[in-house]
């Protein structure tokens, strides 16, 4: 998962691991972009509004909601 307005080039490499993971275990990995969220998982109205304001946006439950949805789907079972 990645926030839509998270533009950190060092930590945003999630897309790169999807193909290798799915090659080892087909269908096991997906990549999700959480709309309007920054690197600190707070919501902003635009990318411009989020610049240099990590964690200073509106609180959001989008991250935890996505994690819980994934866990409830059963896809996270080993």
For residue 40, being part of any structural domain is answered with: yes
| Sign (positive or negative) of CA dihedral 61, 39, 19, 24 | negative
- The residue among 54 and 78 whose pLDDT is bigger is 54
Task: Give the global pTM.
Answer: 0.80
For residue 36, being part of any structural domain is answered with: yes
Q: Range of 55's domain? A: 2-73
In the DSSP assignment, the letter for residue 45 is S
- The residue among 53 and 7 whose pLDDT is bigger is 53
For residue 78, being part of any structural domain is answered with: no
Our count of domains for the chain comes to 1
In the DSSP assignment, the letter for residue 25 is S
* Average model confidence (pLDDT) across the chain: 90
CA–CA separation, 17 and 34 (whole Å): 18
- pLDDT tens per residue, range 24-56: 999 888 889 999 999 999 999 999 999 999 999
CA–CA separation, 29 and 52 (whole Å): 31
């Amino acid at each position: 998962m990645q926030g839509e307005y998270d533009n950190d080039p060092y930590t945003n490499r999630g897309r790169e691991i999807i193909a290798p993971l799915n090659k080892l275990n087909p269908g096991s990995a997906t990549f999700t972009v959480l709309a309007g969220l920054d690197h600190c998982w707070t919501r902003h109205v635009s990318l411009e509004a989020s610049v240099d304001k990590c964690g200073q946006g509106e609180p959001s439950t989008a991250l935890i909601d996505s994690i819980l949805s994934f866990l409830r789907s059963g896809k996270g079972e080993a």
